[in-house]
Amino acid sequence: RQGKEAAMEHDDLPRSPTQARLQPRDLAPLGVAELNGYIDELRGEIARVEAAIKAKLGQRAGAESFFKK
């Protein structure tokens, strides 16, 4: 049983980065205010991702300039 229980714990973990993505929500039961709040949450997540991309591009540019010397 320990092996089976341990396997079940691993099933709860995302298997790939694509599985860790945001899942579409059911929007039907949400009111206008809740939908606007959800949009704000998504915009916050987009800003966070854009900042991560900018940081990675900066690291890449730094590495490229280091190796060109």
| Per-residue pLDDT reduced to its tens digit, 5-17 | 555 555 565 566 6
In contact, 38 and 30? CB cutoff 8 Å = yes
- Regions in the chain scoring below 50 on pLDDT: none
Residue 24 CA to residue 26 CA, distance in Å, equals 7
Whole-number pLDDT of residue 3: 60
Residue 27 CA to residue 6 CA, distance in Å, equals 35
Other Cβ atoms within 10 Å of 69 Cβ, number: 4
